[in-house]
Amino acid sequence: MAGSKLSNLTKRRQRAESSGEPFVDALRAALSHNRVKWDGASRSLHSHDASVFDGGNSGPVVYPETTAEVQAVVRLANQHGRNVVPRGAGTGLAGGAIPLGVPVVVAVTKMNAILEVDEVNRVAWVEPGVINLDLTKQLKPLGYHFAPDPSSQQVCTIGGNVANNSGGPHCLAYGVTNAHVVAMEVVLPSGDTAMLGGLEAEPQGFDLRGAFVGSEGTLGIVTKVAVRLTKNRPAVRTLLMAFDDVRDAANTVSDVIAAGIVPAAMEVMDKQITAAVENYVGAGYPVDAAAVLLAEVDGLDSGVDIDADRIAKIGRSNKATDVRLAESEAQRQLLWKGRKTAFGAVAQIAPDYYLHDTVVPRSALADVLEQIYEIADRYDLLIMNVFHAGDGNLHPLIVFDGRQEGVLERVHAAGGEIITASLDAGGVLSGEHGIGVEKQKFMSRMFTNDDLDHQNRLRQAFDPHCRTNPGKVIPSGHSCADIQSLRSVPNTVWG
């Protein structure tokens, strides 16, 4: 048993000597052996994020720990003529982090320190791999939180939030990520660093920070972020309303906003999704209602009771069959846990889902929903709806079993019609999940050729050689990358 003196981990490290790939060896020399993965299993696992898209095996996967290491990786990629894809937790739903053209994947999960909480300027400096909910938990004793709360907040990273300009249920009152990022340090595609934005109210020059937020990793890699701290509100009331018709729920939402109330959140789930969610959390969701509306108000004690009352009245006047107030913080947490795990819970029904993310004017909510159910019928698909009702952000969820012959074609065709219906109603392509590879082909429906060319010019100003997350966001024909030629390796070939 001579070998047993070495730990398994040490043995694993020693197993691989030279990789036979100069690029990989150079990366290992710059970082360390075990923070540069080149085995088939790792490369295969990085072929996808949480979306249905698959980019094939990635190139090497690296885990930098400092800005300097990110710079070193980017410079080496330039020298070796390789592409770069930044990656956080891989929960993206538009394929933003999938590897096109066998790039080096820069996973920032190890850069996860909260560097400084600056209460004077009301900001916290954090590394990009910090998990959204971890940040909020750390801030709690100080009375603050990070306001954007995507349903994936227990796992997604601040870097991913910045890149996708992510939103969440409570962004209705507080605004999406863009409103909560003050400044950031980025590693540009050249390998140099730059500081965008600043702590002062009106930073000088162009608002490049604004351009970078939502750029989905195509302009460079975020390595440090100054996020705004939002004060925790003293009082919260959460209402649960049940309706016999989705339309009534949608009308309630419009009426609440029209009445001048600004709820912290308003979320709707339809019957099927409520059943799946309730089965997981057991929060007491009414499973026989056609739609459930979760509305939350926060602020001062006296104010929230008045607002909650007014919302309840509006609900009842729209034929709410049941109106309830969360009785305790524990119950409130459970209701939100249900809402926030809705996408995952659908796997109880079928193994695959395709989640859409369009935004329609609030007044058109009910009509578009009706069209979506009609599209589902026509394609013989099960579509569930769960959405940020307050800002008209729809999340139709097509639930299917990918093993069925021909089902994917139907799913994509129905998805296309849903997007078209939303755009026709005056909506936009993406509420919060980004464009990635998913909605590229619809970009030309939203933007003119000129618009797209200008977007690409901005991109090329940052990334002249088109190496950072190539093939994403900007569609073929306007993109600097020749998307067709981005090579991919089937992902089960490893060894």
Ligand X SMILES: Cc1cc2nc3c(=O)[nH]c(=O)nc-3n(C[C@H](O)[C@H](O)[C@H](O)COP(=O)(O)OP(=O)(O)OC[C@H]3O[C@@H](n4cnc5c(N)ncnc54)[C@H](O)[C@@H]3O)c2cc1C
Site size with another protein, rule: CB under 8 A: 54
* Footprint on residues 353-412 left by another protein (CB under 8 A): 353, 401, 403
Q: Which residues lie closer than 8 Å to 34 by C-beta, 6 or more apart?
A: 12, 13
For residues 438 and 54, what is the distance between their CA atoms, to the nearest angstrom?
A: 11
Q: Which is nearer to ligand SF4, 232 or 279 (CB)?
A: 279
Cβ contact 59:470 at 8 Å: no
What's 113-152 look like in SS3? CEEEEECCCCEEEECCCCEHHHHHHHHHHHCEECCCCCCC
Q: Considering the complex, what minimum distance in angstroms separates the CB of residue 155 from ligand SF4?
A: 9
Which residue ranges make up the site for ligand SF4 (CB under 6 A)?
344, 347
Q: How many residues appear in the chain?
A: 495
Q: Which amino acid type is present at position 232?
A: N
The stretch among 37-45, 79-87, 286-294, 320-328 that binds ligand X (CB under 6 A) is 79-87
Token pair in block for residue 108: 């920032």
* Footprint on residues 262-291 left by another protein (CB under 8 A): 277, 280
Q: Which amino acid type is present at position 163?
A: A
Site size with ligand X, rule: CB under 6 A: 37
Cβ contact 222:293 at 8 Å: no
Write phi, then psi, for 171 (nearest 5 degrees): -80, -10
Q: Which is nearer to ligand SF4, 48 or 467 (CB)?
A: 48
Between strands 84-87 and 104-107, the pairing is parallel
For residues 419 and 362, what is the distance between their CA atoms, to the nearest angstrom?
A: 16
Cβ contact 308:245 at 8 Å: no
Contact code string over 156-175 relative to ligand X, x by CB under 6 A: xx-xxx-xx-xxx-------
Contact code string over 324-343 relative to ligand X, x by CB under 6 A: -------------------x
Q: Considering the complex, what minimum distance in angstroms separates the CB of residue 47 from another protein?
A: 9
Contact code string over 173-212 relative to ligand X, x by CB under 6 A: ----------------------------------------
Token pair in block for residue 122: 């009301």
Contact code string over 291-330 relative to ligand X, x by CB under 6 A: ----------------------------------------
Q: Considering the complex, what minimum distance in angstroms separates the CB of residue 350 from another protein?
A: 9
Query: Which residue in this structure is represented by tokens 């057991």?
Result: 282
The count of other CB atoms within 10 Å of the CB of residue 59 is 25
For residues 310 and 295, what is the distance between their CA atoms, to the nearest angstrom?
A: 12
Query: How far does Cα 464 stand from its chain's mean position?
Result: 27
Q: Which is nearer to another protein, 121 or 348 (CB)?
A: 348
55 part of the interface to ligand X, by CB under 6 A: no
Sheet of 36-37, strand order: 36-37, 61-62, 104-107, 84-87
351 binds, among ligand SF4, ligand X, another protein, none (CB under 5 to 8 A by kind): another protein
Chain residues that interact with ligand X, rule: CB under 6 A: 49-50, 85-93, 96-97, 108, 128, 150-152, 156-157, 159-161, 163-164, 166-168, 216-217, 221-222, 343-344, 432-433, 469
Chain residues that interact with another protein, rule: CB under 8 A: 1, 4, 7-10, 12, 15, 37, 39-42, 44-46, 48, 50, 61, 63, 89-91, 107, 109-110, 112, 129, 131, 133-134, 137, 152, 154-155, 277, 280, 341-348, 351-353, 401, 403, 491-492, 494-495
